[in-house]
Structure 1
């Protein structure tokens, strides 16, 4: 089985869309429990064992945000993906404040959802298998020691500032995937505003300078979404 039978809780009040998405995910070897509203979803979550939750934001009785908060109280480490028909910035920020791993606006490409699920489960792999916290990353020919705030390149060592360290770590956690701008601002700057966004752009420019000696490493600006740290042979230890 390609996805090792991972169990997904899907909360979606549109019956047609919910069934289609459930069938699609099960076709790719996921086990899916479909709930038509938040009340049934929290009941199913409290009784079952799930690896990831996909929650529609707009649902009768109990909306996706309320459901997510209740899920996080039961399991603070549960990965969450929000589905919404709206692309309002306020809703996206609320989702990330609650602890969302990703946020997808309908309509969306189903293959993109699969890719996001794989990326999230890969990032969650360390805690899911009780591995120690990742503190060292290989980014192309660079070695990044998170706790020491050191970046190594062929004997040369750069000392990073605290914010540079946190931003590079977050990029590494999304290696070769998009790091959402909102996620970085809320986790590191604790605020999404014009000024904090400009500050993050400055730190991205600094990180690009640190990483410029390896042509296989690049931080790409994904317009309207965030940044992607691309690296060949990038691994975490």
Structure 2
């Protein structure tokens, strides 16, 4: 079995050493980079399973780094680590394609749990699951996070794909907000709720021209994916 490879960008040497050491004690193979530019160059040359990125990096910040990584790989999970606590920073990171966001100081246990969740999802046996869906004029490849038709391809992040699959598996049914949050994140706290709103906004934009398809917001309850 191939080792799980993590690329980790952090310019704080002490924090980087402690985090890398803890991850390696948990059997992960970690490549640490001290700036965004070297991280991106390394990412282009090797195979990685997860990206853990600080935001305030020299030479190329984490937001720009995530944008460049997404151009190469739309599927790899990206976790931001940052001392920035403003919700605007969290939302910006998620809009750039990040899958999760931890605020410093974070616990190594929480980071390990999030890594484990991502790995379980990416390695989950999907042989008995429906993988290809029809959504209006599009097809949705849930395994490869791709919405496509004959003339267009739209790459989704892992979170976006999981959300769309959840909606399609429960189309025309009311889904409580906490049910969706627990299914995607295992939690329903305030910031995960804001993250969900970002992903729903993105899906609405993709499906905006599809007649008979909409994501209804049921105030105080949740959402309904309406599909004729």
Compute the TM-score of the two structures, normalised by the length of structure 2: 0.67
Q: Distance in 2 between matches of 1:100 and 1:49?
A: 18
Change (3 A) 1:30 1:52: same
Matching residue of 1:63? 61
Instruction: Say which SS state the counterpart of residue 168 (structure 2) adopts.
Output: coil
Matched ranges for 1:77-88 at <5 A: 77-88=75-86
By how many angstroms is 1:188 displaced? 1.4
Provide, for residues 70-115 of structure 1, a one-character-per-residue CA deviation record: whole Å limited to 9, x for no partner: 0000001110000101201111000110111110111111111101
In structure 2, relative to structure 1, the CA distance for the partners of 1:45 and 1:105 (3 Å cut) is same
Change (3 A) 1:134 1:17: farther
For residues 64 and 160 of structure 1, do their structure 2 counterparts lie closer, same or farther at Cα, with a shift above 3 Å needed? same
Cα distance change of structure 1 residues 48 and 178 upon mapping to structure 2, 3 Å threshold: farther
Q: Could you say which residue in structure 2 is the equivalent of 1:147?
A: 168
Q: Please list every run of 5 or more consecutive structure 1 residues that lacks an aligned counterpart in the other structure.
A: 136-143, 151-158, 192-198, 208-237
Task: Tell me by how many angstroms 1:145 deviates.
Answer: 8.1
Q: Is the 8 A contact 1:126 1:132 kept in 2?
A: no
Provide the rounded CA distance (Å) in 1 between the counterparts of 2:218 and 2:109.
Answer: 30
What displacement does 1:183 show?
A: 1.8
Quick one: structure 1 residues 178 and 59, their matched pair in 2 at CA, closer, same or farther if it must change by over 3 Å? same
Q: Secondary structure at the match of 1:202?
A: coil
In structure 2, distance between residues paired with 1:80 and 1:67 = 10
Query: TM-score by structure 1 length?
Result: 0.64
- Equivalences for 1:135-214 in 2 at 5 Å? 146-147=167-168, 149=170, 159-160=172-173, 164=175, 168=179, 171-174=182-185, 176-178=186-188, 180-190=192-202, 202-204=220-222
Which whole-Å CA distance do the structure 2 matches of 1:56 and 1:12 have between them? 5
Where does residue 228 of structure 1 map in the other structure? Answer: none
Secondary structure of the residue aligned to 2:20 is helix
Shift, 1:14, TM fit: 0.8
2:187 and 2:117 map into 1 onto residues whose CA distance is: 8
CA contact (8 A) 1:79 1:101 kept: yes
Consecutive unaligned residues of structure 2, counting only runs of 5 or more, are 134-164, 204-216
Distance 1:134 1:121 in 2: 22
Task: Tell which structure's C-alpha radius of gyration is larger.
Answer: 1
Aligned length in residues: 177
**Residues 1-237 of structure 1: pairs in structure 2 closer than 5 A:** 5-126=3-124, 133=131, 146-147=167-168, 149=170, 159-160=172-173, 164=175, 168=179, 171-174=182-185, 176-178=186-188, 180-190=192-202, 202-204=220-222
Q: Residue 7 of structure 2 contacts residue 43 of structure 2 at CA under 8 Å; is this kept in 1?
A: yes
**What is the alpha-carbon distance in structure 2 between the residues aligned to residue 115 and residue 82 of structure 1?**
14
Q: Give RMSD over aligned pairs.
A: 3.3
Q: Give the equivalent residue in structure 2 for 1:196.
A: none
